[in-house]
Structure formats: structure tokens, C-alpha cells
Amino acid sequence: MSDSSSIASLVASLQARIADLAPGDRLPSSRELVARYTVSPVTVSRAFAQLAAEGMVVTRPGAGTFVAPRRVRPGPAAADTSWQAVALAGRESDAGLGAAVEPSAPLPEGTLAMAGGYPHRSLQPTRALSAALARAARRPDAWDRAPVAGLAPLRAIFAKQAGGDVTADDVLVTGGGQGALSMVFRAVAPPGSPVLVESPTYPGALAAARAAGLRPVPVPMDADGLRPDLLADAFAMTGARLLYCQPAFHNPTGAVLTAERRRQITDVTRAAGAFLVEDDFARHLGHGGPVPRPLVADDPDGTVIHLASLTKPASPSLRIGALVARGPVRMRLRAIRLVDDFFTARPLQEAAVELVSTPAWNRHLSALATALRERCAVLAGTLATAAPDWQITRIPAGGLHLWVRLPSGVSEAAAVEAARAHGVAVDAGRRYFPAEPAGAFLRIGFAATEDAAHLTEAARRLGLAAADCAPPAP
């Protein structure tokens, strides 16, 4: 059991116990709880800290932990927020805006996580991250103000990764990829204008576009990625000045834009007088094979705005990304950064430099590639046997997910609910489409679970779910 689930389980047990006690009653000691629940003293300490923060217990040094006095909570009529409906008028929200990027609620005990977009903790370079952060904290200037564009060594790292003639001066360090997307959408296109996106695409991009007041317009894909012929038509019909795409290990399909199409997509965008936002989030998530060269490396004219991130291959909390842009748009992005938050926290930038500058980083990326390749093969093989009617659209060469088409007559909602009933969390495909979906799909991750054994068990459970929601035989 993970530390977080152990703490949550202990907190729930203590809350139930507190409900039967009176204020001032003493709770069992830490030693007693360690023995009774077979947990560590650290788990007990964190559980007590959480209960204290919630106002349920008070700790008296040398005496113990006691039930706190009951707090009288105001009834539902104590607050009236109806005035906000008037104050917010004129700025309508999209119903799915936050849901597209907000983590789902905690999973029930025993549920296998096949949803979400981050690798399991066992796939993260935890020791290297801790060591890097410790070294960064010892720098005498660790807590000084950082430059608006980011630390020069970190910008140089991202420039080298982008390739071509990209320099550190073209790089703006950001607080992760999601914030970078929001900056770009607000910087490039005025509210109300269209933005072309692959269909399907990353829901967080759709949310960021809609939050900026933009209107996502779908451009279909096929096995080779975004279709250049339909892209040209979309530019002509909409007058869009912005395209968002993921050329390498596309989320959710895993597609890689072919070499020929890479040139065509950039040429079509340049001819339309538009910007191409290249989301290169998966550059470090390849499965050991070649990773295509970034589009920005072959773009001398500033058509491509390149987005990179260290978050996926490292840790959800290493909120470090970068934008590569040239010309006036770079200055506009810099200006937005000043308005938004001035700069990315310097200790985090210093830690990122420390992390990627050591041999441990390359060893981690190599191990991660091997693990992702093996996990992908395990899930694809076992799922094909357990749920043969669920079509895996491709075996991806990178990324964290399988994109699965459901058979005719099976709804996504039914499949997701059946999977949940059997203890597996998966993502419904509908949220990845900016408009009408091209069918019923599921996105099933192979990186969020603890190990290959869990993947095999998840496939078995999904086979049961597939049988539950299968249409009746004619």
C-alpha cells in the first residue's frame, strides 16, 4: 500500500473513532496506533497532522492527542452567493473547462489507475530529484529573483533540445506546459477567433483555448497524423491564425507525424500567415526508438512556437517547461509572463538544471524508455486477449497510453462505468474531441500503475467490463 493510501486509511479510521468520543477524550498513542494498524510512525504523525489541520484533534506535548471541541458550522443559509450570477454576467464559462485538466477524485481502494497523464512514482527519478533540489538549495543565490526569461543555463538546455539554430535567447522558461499553452493562446489570437486543433487532441489544450476565449476547430487525423489537405481547407474556411498540434507521440492516439507531412504542415501554416504551436510534451517519453526532430528546428521564419516540458518524464511537481519563439511574438509572450507571475521560481529552475546536467538524468531516461516499452507490450498483449472486440488503434512508439476503439453498439459511458465497477479507471474518449467524436473510444494508460502485474490484472478486469457492456447477440 502506498504512503498516501496508508495515511488516508488511518485518517478515516480515526475520524470514525473520534465521532464516538467526546471533546477532551484522549486518542491512542502513536505507539499503540503503529502496532494496531501496522503502519510507520511517520504515517501516524501525518495522520494526526491532517486531523489537527481539520480541527478534529489537538496535540499537547508530553500529554498526548485529544479530541478537539466541536466546532459549530454555519448552516447552508449562512452565506448567499447569488449576487455572483450578476457579477459574472457577460463572461460565460465552458461547462467542461476545469474538468478537462483537473485531476479526478481519489480512486476507491483497490482501483487500478489506467487514467491520467503521469507515470507512476516508481518510474520517477525520485532520488535524483531530491539530490538536485538539495544541491540547488545550497546555492548562495538560490532564493534571488530569477530573470523573466529564465536562468541562462536552463534556457541553453532547452535550446539544445530544440535543435537547429535555436539559441538560449529564443527560449522563455515557463511553469510547466499547461501554463505555457495558456500564455500562447492569449498572446497570439484575440478572443472569439478560431484555433485549429487535431481531432482528437489533448483536452487541456481545448480548455486553455476556451479559457482564452478562442473557438477550437477540428482538423481530422489519420494513421500518419494531421491531414495537410484538410488543414489547408480549414485555414481557408475559418481564417484562423493559429494551429495547435502534437507531432510526436500524439496524445491520445500515439501517432507520429510523418516526415513528408511535417514539411507540409509547416508550409501550409506559413502560407496562411499563421502560427503553429508545436506541443513537444512527449520528447522524453519515447520507447527507445528514434524520436523525430522538432518542427522548430527547421523553421527559420518564426512560424513555429515550440513548447517543451520536463514535467512528464520527471515528476508532476517539477513544473518546468519552455517556449521557443522568434520575432515579435517572443516579446509579447515575455510581456504576458510579466503580467502573470513575473518569473518561474528560481529554486525549481536551479533544481531542473542540476537534474538534467547529471549522468543520472540520462540513465533515468534510458530506464524510463525501457519500462514504457515493456509496459505498453504487456498491456497491449493482455488486453487483446481479454477484450478482443476492443480495437487497439496502434502500438505507439512513445507516450503513456493506448487509444482503443470500442465496438459498434457499445457506448463510452457504459464501458467506463463497467470498468469502474470492476476496479479499473480509464478515460472516456469523448473529452478528446473538440466537436463531434469520430466514434466511441477509451484512452487506457500503461504508466500510472505500479508494475506489469497490475497491468495484467487490469486487462483481466477490463475483459470482464467488455463482456458486461457488450451488445446482445442478434
Euclidean distance between the first and the last CA atom of the chain, given in angstroms as a whole number: 45
Averaged pLDDT for residues 85-114: 65
Helix or strand or coil: residue 243? strand
> Which pLDDT belongs to residue 41?
86
pLDDT of 10 over the 80 cut: yes
Please name the residues in contact with 285: beta carbons below 8 A apart, sequence gap of 6 or more.
Answer: 249, 312, 313, 368, 372, 398, 399, 400
On whether residue 425 sits in a domain, the answer given is yes
Give the model confidence (pLDDT) of 246-277 as tens digits: 999 999 999 999 999 999 999 999 999 999 99
Which position has the grid cell 486509511?
9
- Its sign, for the CA torsion 138, 139, 141, 144, is negative
Q: Measuring CA to CA, which residue among 374, 359, 323 is closest to residue 173? A: 323
Higher pLDDT, 54 or 389: 389
Domain limit, last residue, from 331, 358, 385 = 358
> Which pLDDT belongs to residue 142?
82
Quick one: 43 and 132 in the same domain?
no
Quick one: 345 and 433 in the same domain?
no
Which position has the grid cell 478572443?
191
Domain limit, last residue, from 358, 384, 406 = 358
Inter-residue contact 297 to 326 (CB < 8 Å): no
What mean pLDDT is reported for the chain? 88
Alpha helix (H) residue ranges in 118-202? 126-137, 152-162, 177-188
pLDDT of 74 over the 60 cut: no
Strand partners, 225: 222
Quick one: 317 and 195 in the same domain?
yes
Domain limit, last residue, from 34, 52, 67 = 67
Other C-beta atoms within 10 Å of 184: how many? Answer: 29
Q: What is the CATH number of the domain that holds 436?
A: 3.90.1150.10
Q: Measuring CA to CA, which residue among 439, 438, 432, 446 is closest to residue 398? A: 446
Strands 441-445 and 194-199: what pairing?
Answer: unpaired
> Which pLDDT belongs to residue 95?
47
- Contacts within 8 Å (CB) and 24+ apart, 270-273: 270/301, 270/303, 271/232, 272/232, 272/235, 272/236, 272/240, 272/241, 273/241
pLDDT of 73 over the 70 cut: no
Give the model confidence (pLDDT) of 426-465 as tens digits: 999 999 999 888 899 999 999 999 889 999 999 999 999 9
Between CA 83 and CA 343 the distance in angstroms is 35
Strand partners, 64: 60
> Which pLDDT belongs to residue 92?
56
On whether residue 95 sits in a domain, the answer given is no
Q: Measuring CA to CA, which residue among 448, 444, 457 is closest to residue 396? A: 444
> Which pLDDT belongs to residue 474?
62
DSSP state of 168: G
On whether residue 101 sits in a domain, the answer given is no
Averaged pLDDT for residues 191-214: 93
On whether residue 432 sits in a domain, the answer given is yes
Q: Which of 80-94, 152-166, 306-320, 448-462 is least confident?
A: 80-94
Domain that holds residue 407: 112-123+362-469
Quick one: 455 and 334 in the same domain?
no
Label residue 395 exposed, middle or buried (CB < 10 Å: 0-12, 13-18, 19+). Answer: middle
Question: What is the number of H-type helices and E-type strands within the chain?
Answer: 16, 16
Higher pLDDT, 75 or 421: 421
Quick one: 311 and 368 in the same domain?
no
Please name the residues in contact with 331: beta carbons below 8 A apart, sequence gap of 6 or more.
Answer: none
Quick one: 192 and 259 in the same domain?
yes
Query: Could you give the percent of the chain with pLDDT greater than 90?
Result: 58
Domain count, the chain: 3
Between CA 386 and CA 348 the distance in angstroms is 44
pLDDT of 473 over the 50 cut: yes
Mapped to the 3 state alphabet, what secondary structure does 185-223 carry? Answer: HHHHCCCCCEEEEEECCCHHHHHHHHHCCCEEEEEEEEC
Quick one: 176 and 116 in the same domain?
no
pLDDT of 232 over the 90 cut: yes
On whether residue 205 sits in a domain, the answer given is yes
Global confidence as pTM: 0.80
Sheet holding 427-428, edge to edge: 391-392, 401-405, 441-445, 427-428
Between CA 370 and CA 156 the distance in angstroms is 27
Query: Could you give the percent of the chain with pLDDT greater than 70?
Result: 91
DSSP state of 103: P
DSSP state of 358: S
Quick one: 351 and 373 in the same domain?
no
> Which pLDDT belongs to residue 42?
86
> Which pLDDT belongs to residue 104?
57
Quick one: 353 and 397 in the same domain?
no
On whether residue 84 sits in a domain, the answer given is no
Other C-beta atoms within 10 Å of 110: how many? Answer: 7
pLDDT of 233 over the 90 cut: yes
Quick one: 298 and 234 in the same domain?
yes
> Which pLDDT belongs to residue 337?
84
> Which pLDDT belongs to residue 86?
66
> Which pLDDT belongs to residue 387?
94
Quick one: 57 and 189 in the same domain?
no
On whether residue 245 sits in a domain, the answer given is yes
Between CA 349 and CA 318 the distance in angstroms is 9
Q: What is the CATH number of the domain that holds 52?
A: 1.10.10.10
On whether residue 107 sits in a domain, the answer given is no
Higher pLDDT, 409 or 3: 409
Q: What is the CATH number of the domain that holds 315?
A: 3.40.640.10
pLDDT of 1 over the 50 cut: no
Torsion from C-alpha of 252, 258, 260, 266, nearest 10 degrees:
30
Quick one: 182 and 310 in the same domain?
yes
Apex 178 CA angle, 177 and 179, nearest 5: 95
Which position has the grid cell 483555448?
209
Give the model confidence (pLDDT) of 13-57 as tens digits: 898 888 888 888 888 988 888 888 888 888 888 888 888 888 888
Strand partners, 305: 277
Apex 380 CA angle, 378 and 382, nearest 5: 65
Give the model confidence (pLDDT) of 205-219 as tens digits: 999 999 999 999 999
> Which pLDDT belongs to residue 97?
54
pLDDT of 397 over the 80 cut: yes
